[in-house]
Structure 1
Amino acid sequence: MSVIISEPPAIRCVGAVVHDRTGRLLMIRRANDPGRGEWSLPGGRVERGESDDSALRREVHEETGLRVTVGPLVGNLRRTGPHGDYDIRDYWCVPDSGTLCAGDDAADARWIDRATLTTLDRDAALTEGLVELLRSWDCLPGAQ
């Protein structure tokens, strides 16, 4: 007799890569774990029966006060967290309306230029590997 051990399915999540007209990147400072206090892209879990598109529009609005149009998939990654593995799909988004303000799971929300991103990276204030990932996807913020 053999024993089959199966792993629970990964938790599906989405993230938004959003740049403003000047090339700055929309980022949030996480208010809750995993990653409390770290700066990251806005996003979160996809709820049961929800599409990536609707989950992303909901999460961005809840965390930043902004409404976005969701574009193509930029890339995806898998992270291990305290409740299992997270399958994160990041999409290119365009801001439509709203006023930037931190809400829901965000302690802060800001438009970040390249110099600020470099400082946050140097100070280990970013989600691990974020700069390398954005660089590999050609999504770093513009210099100001």
Structure 2
Amino acid sequence: MAAPELCVSAVVIDDERLLLVRRGRGRAQGTWAVPGGRVEPGELLAEAVVRELRQETGLEGVCGELLGVLELVDDEGPHQVVLSHVVTLMEAIEPAPGDDAAEARWVPLADVCDYRLAPGLAEFLHDHQVIATIT
């Protein structure tokens, strides 16, 4: 069995909206998630967070505090440990999907759970007071 993969994600909130991307490939393809991906060898966590944000949405941001840890263990892919960080945008503009994101958009916080979210994301966002409800 392989060691878990280290991943990061960017939790970006602006004007009561959360930045979401629809996965175009890989684990949870077709579902909505916060931007993120694997940490590359020799890359600092903060560097990985802002790189993934830029690659998946075209937005530039500054990596802030660690929001929490999400562990993914399922039949869809390898065991992953995701370190989710709060990110502050340099400029709040419309995202443009790129890399493995099929779509990228701002979603009102109250509407996040209306989307088909990646497994565990709704619970994670609720547990960390990003969204008020998961139903």
What TM-score results when the alignment is normalised by the length of structure 1?
0.84
Partner of 2:78: 84
Point out 4+ residue stretches in structure 1 off by more than 3 angstroms: none
Identity %: 35
CA distance in 2, matches of 1:38, 1:29: 5
Q: Does 1:69 align with 2:62?
A: yes
Q: Does 1:109 align with 2:100?
A: no
Point out where structure 2 has 5 or more consecutive residues left out of the alignment.
Answer: none
CA distance in 1, matches of 2:77, 2:28: 13
CA distance in 1, matches of 2:125, 2:23: 18
Does the 8 Å CA contact 1:25/1:140 hold for their aligned counterparts? Answer: no
Q: Does 1:95 align with 2:89?
A: yes
Does the 8 Å CA contact 2:27/2:77 hold for their aligned counterparts? Answer: no
CA distance in 2, matches of 1:93, 1:138: 15
Partner of 1:29: 22
Deviation string for 1:54-107 (max 9, x for gaps)? Answer: 111111000000001000000002102544200100000001136511111100
Does the 8 Å CA contact 1:76/1:87 hold for their aligned counterparts? Answer: yes
1:32-43 to structure 2, matched below 5 A, reads 32-43=25-36
Point out where structure 1 has 5 or more consecutive residues left out of the alignment.
Answer: 1-6
Does the 8 Å CA contact 1:17/1:25 hold for their aligned counterparts? Answer: yes
Q: What is the CA-CA distance between 1:139 and the residue it aligns to?
A: 1.2
Larger Rg: 1
Q: What is the CA-CA distance between 1:129 and the residue it aligns to?
A: 2.2
CA distance in 2, matches of 1:38, 1:44: 15
Secondary structure of the structure 2 residue equivalent to 1:77? strand
Secondary structure of the structure 2 residue equivalent to 1:66? coil
Does the 8 Å CA contact 2:110/2:131 hold for their aligned counterparts? Answer: no
CA distance in 1, matches of 2:60, 2:131: 21
Partner of 2:129: 138
